[in-house]
Structure 1
Amino acid sequence: MKMDRALFEFFHSLANRAAFLDGLIGFLAVYFVYFLVAGLLFFLYKMKAAPRHKVFAFLTLSLGAVLSRGIFTEIIRFFYDRPRPFEVLNITPLFLDENPAFPSGHTALLFALSFALLHFNKKLGYWFLGFSLLVGISRIIAGVHWPSDILSGIVVAFISVWIVRLLLKKYEI
């Protein structure tokens, strides 16, 4: 926990330095996910592949995201209600988030999409991994997540996509 707090304090020290940067961090931490998902849907639409390949890619991405963010994250949060950094420390976050912190739902969703995307387009998948990490770090800087929340979201996403790939393996085209 000392390492978690030390890393949090390092990243959060980047907040409240300039209004423009705080606005950028807030945008990345809250709204950038929508642009990433829209971009991913556009990629699927433009993907040069047979329709059945597109459907398989869409299923893999969707099921990975639902399992990661919609099921595993919520089950963990039901049993472990970890407070957010601004609830524990005497800090003002860049924005409020009232759900439990552990694991990060944004990170679980975006990394699930990233890991699934790697199977269909490595270059775009690596870009998505970078953008997903940027969102996770932004949420730490904003004061709404501990670093371990982000790391756990990544682990949940990896396991979720692994399970989906395992279940869909016999249907892969």
Structure 2
Amino acid sequence: MNFDYKLFEMINQFAGQNDVLDQTVMLFSKFGPILFGLVLVWLWFSKSGRMIENRRIVMYVLTITIIVLGINKAIELMYFRPRPFVTHSVHLLSHKTSADPSFPSNHSAGAFAMTWALFFYRKKIGSILLILAFFMALSRIYIGVHYPLDVTTGAIIALIITVVVMSQKRFLDPIFQNFIQGFRKSI
């Protein structure tokens, strides 16, 4: 047995032991991405701070998230890793029976993509979302649908892409500014 699977077992062994915990983790794992999305909607329409700056942050978050999920899809097409429940006996809490690739985790990558980008601009909300993204990754292992390496890789890809995209601010800021001004004129 490898380290990745041993770590998976250490986390997944708690699944099925406490109904309240199981249901809480399942709900968070399933609907957590909506929570991250609601933060973006709130930030886009928020009047706190500078509205244009808030919208630019949302544009960065969306750009990074789209790139990260695109990279994940490319990796999935080149490398197929079965999900834990396909190759092992696990405590599966998900109704997922699909044999789509386990590596890398889209939930983890998406959560961390939104988190790193927000953290770059807004440390307070970014720190809160960083904790939530960590729990999102952990929840995917707990319910039996991802290995630790799957969620860690998703987080690392998100961090790398965030750094790359943020290094291109001088090119992206004018594009985002034009989009935001066009949006403001259209409403």
TM-score for both structures, normalised by structure 2: 0.85
CA RMSD in angstroms comes to: 1.7
Mapped partners of 2:61, 2:142: distance in 1 = 28
**Match runs of 1:22-171 below 5 Å:** 22-46=22-46, 48-69=48-69, 71-95=70-94, 96=96, 98=98, 99-171=100-172
Cα deviation, residue 48, structure 1: 2.9
The one-letter code of the counterpart of 2:164 is I
Is the contact made by 1:112 and 1:157 (CA closer than 8 Å) also made in structure 2? yes
Change (3 A) 1:111 1:93: same
Residue 171 of structure 1, CA deviation: 4.5
**C-alpha displacement of 1:170:** 4.0
Residues in 2 aligned to 1:166 and 1:93: alpha-carbon distance in whole angstroms: 41
Q: Is the contact made by 1:97 and 1:144 (CA closer than 8 Å) also made in structure 2? A: no
Q: How many residues align?
A: 172
Measure, in 1, the Cα distance between the counterparts of 2:170 and 2:47.
21
- Identity among equivalent pairs (%): 25
- In 2, the alpha carbon distance for the partners of 1:126 and 1:135 equals 14
* 2:12–2:90 CA contact under 8 A, matched in 1: no
Mapped partners of 2:52, 2:37: distance in 1: 21
Q: Distance in 1 between matches of 2:32 and 2:109?
A: 15
| Greater Rg over alpha carbons, structure | 2
Q: Which 5+ residue runs of structure 1 have no aligned equivalent?
A: none
Three-state SS of the structure 1 residue aligned to 2:120 is coil
Looking at structure 2, the residues matched to 130 and 169 of structure 1 have their Cα atoms a distance apart, in angstroms, of 30
Structure 1 length normalisation: TM-score?
Answer: 0.91
> What are the ranges of 5 or more consecutive residues in structure 2 without an aligned counterpart?
175-187
Distance 1:111 1:97 in 2: 25
